[in-house]
Amino acid sequence: MPLYTPPLRDMQFVLHEVLGAVDELKQLPAHADVDADTINAVLEEGGKFAAEVIAPINLSGDLEGCTLDKATHEVKPPKGFKEAYAQYVEGGWPALGCDPDYGGQGLPVVLNQALYEMLNSANQAWTMYPGLSHGAYEALHAHGTDEQKKTYLPKLTSGEWTGTMCLTEPHCGTDLGLLRTKAEPQADGSYKITGSKIFISAGEHDMVDNIVHLVLARLPDAPAGSKGISLFVVPKFAVKADGSLGDRNPVFCTGLEHKMGIHANSTCQITLDGAVGTLVGQPNKGLAAMFVMMNAARLGVGNQSLGLTEVAYQNAVAYAKDRIQMRALSGPKVPSQPADPIIVHPDVRKMLLTARAYAEGGRALSMYVALMLDKALSSDDADEAKEAEDEVALLTPIVKAFISDNAWLATSHCMQVFGGHGYIHETGAEQFVRDARINMTYEGTNTVQSLDLLGRKILGNNGATLKKFGKKIAAFVEEEGTSEAMQEFINPLADIGDKVTKLTTEIGMKAFQNPDEVGAAAVDYLRVVGHLCFAYFFARMAKVALEKQNSGDKFYIAKLATARFYFAKLLPETASLIRTARTGLPTLMEMDEALF
C-alpha cells in the first residue's frame, strides 16, 4: 500500500523562511493574532488526519468506487469514506478558513491551502467532497442574500452539509453560453429549475443530510450566450424557516460517470425536474457569481496536482532506495548486495528530481498565491487589496495549468521508476497517474487556462499586471545581482524574465493582426511564464538555503541541490517552448480540414 508522510518541514520552510507569512498576515486586521506556533500546530494535526485517516482508504476506495441505486437515486461512496468524513467534521476542519460570523475559525487561506495539499496527497477523491463545499461556501459568501447566507453558510462551514457546482451539460463542455437548463419564476420569489447537468463531482452521496447545489440556468427572457446565465442555489432537501429539512427536491443523480481515475468520487449526471431554488446575485449575472467558486476550484485543482506530485515522489523514492537492479555504470556501489539500488542510476535520479522539483516549486507558488489571496480578502488598504486581487487573477491559470501539467509528467515519471510494478494497482503508482490526468481537463481545460492567461489577463490590459509582477522579480534580481553565490540562480532568472517580456510583445503585435495568433501560442506561452514563476521562487528558496547551508541541517543542502537541478535540467525547456510559440499560426492552419 502507498505511504504518505506530510512534508511539514518544507511547508514550514516556504511559509516562514521564504514568504515570511506570519509577518505578512499580521498586517491584516483579520489575522493580526496569527503566529507561527498556531500555523505549525494546525499543519501537524492536519497532516496526521491526512496520513492516518484518509490515506489508508485511498487504494481501496479506488478499487471499490461509488455505487448508485437507480431506484432511489442514492449514491454510496466506498467503505470508510463516510466515517472519515464524520471524523473530519468532528475535528472542525471544514471551518478552518471560514468566516467566524458563520461559525468559522477565520484562519488564513494560505493555511487552509496547505491543509488541502496534504489531504489531496492522501486521497484526492475523498478530498473533493469537502473541497467543493468550500467553493460553494465562497460563492454564497460573496454573492448570496442575507437569507441565503443565514440558511446555508453555517451548515457548509460546519461540514454538516456539502456543496456542488452544477455547470456544464452534455452539449456544452466548457462553453457554458450554450447551456439550456431553464429557471421558471414562481409567485413566492423562488424558481423551478429543469434541465440536465453532467460531470458533477460529489453530486450525490450519503455522507451528509443535505447537499447544496449551485446551478447555472436561464431565465425565460434571458439573452443568448453567456450574458443570459443566472445562478441558483438548489438544496437536495428544502430548508424550512426554522432550519430543519423539508421535502426532497427533484434534483436527482441519474447516472455515475465511469472514469479513468478518481473512482471514489461520485461524478454524477444530475437531472433537475422542476427543482425549487433561489436566485444568487443578479439575474443574468450568474457566471460572474459562479466565477468565485470556479476560481477557488482552479486553485484547488493546482493543489490536487501538487498533492499527487508529492505523494508519487515519496513512494517512488522509497522504492528506488529499496529496489536492487544492475550495477552502476561506474562500478558497484553496494558490493555486499548482488545488485545496486536503482537510485544510483542517473536517469532514475532525473525522474525523481523532476518530481521533487515540480512539487517544491509548485508548493512555493501555491502558497504565495494563497497569501496574496489573504491580502486581497483581508487588507484594509484598498490599493493593496486590489493589487493582490489582480496578481491572484494573473497567477490562478498558471497554478491550475502549469502545476497540473507538471503533475502528469511527474506522476508518470514516478510510475516509471517502479518499472513493471508501477503498472500494478497495489503499488499505488498507476492510480496517481490516473487521478492526475483529470486535473488537466476539468475546471476549464489547460488550453482554456492558457487562453485566459494570455488573452484576458495579459494582453487584455496591455500587460499591466504582468509588468507589476515582473517588477517584483526585477527587484529581487537587482538586490541579489552582486552576490557571487547567487549568480547561478539570478542569471537564468533574469534571462527568462527578459525573454518573457520580448515574447509577450511579439505575440501581442501578431494578435493585433490576427487574434488566432493567441490561440496558436497560448499553451506554450503559459508554460514559459510558469517556468518564470518557478525560477523566481527557486531563486528565493536558494537564497535562504545558501545562508543556512552550514547550519548542520541537511534540509538546506537538499534544497540547493533541487534548485540547481531545476535550473540545469527543467528551466531550459523554455528555449524550445519560446521557439514553438514564435512559429505562430501558419503551420497549424494551412492544412485543409478535408485532409485531416
Q: What gap in Å lies between CA 15 and CA 554, rounded to an integer?
A: 19
Which cell numbers hold the place of 312?
508519487
Phi, psi angles (nearest 5°) of residue 5: -120, 120
Of 442, 440, 422, 441, the closest CA to residue 432 belongs to 422
Is-contact 269 251, C-beta < 8 A? no
Is 443 among the catalytic positions?
A: yes
Of 470, 516, 496, the closest CA to residue 577 belongs to 496
Q: What gap in Å lies between CA 110 and CA 107, rounded to an integer?
A: 9
Of 462, 479, 327, 302, the closest CA to residue 396 belongs to 302
| Residue linked to cell 548482488 | 338
Of 117, 129, 122, the closest CA to residue 51 belongs to 122
Which cell numbers hold the place of 470?
515582473
Residue 35 DSSP class:
-
Strand, coil or helix: what is 562?
helix
Residue 324 DSSP class:
B
Catalytic residue among 443, 478, 479, 590: 443
User: Which residues are bridge partners to 210 per DSSP?
Assistant: 161
**Helix intervals (H) in 159-267:** none
SS3 for 479-534 is HHCCCHHHHHHHHHHHHHHHHHHHHHHHHHHHHHHCCHHHHHHHHHHHHHHHHHHH
Give the catalytic positions in this structure.
443
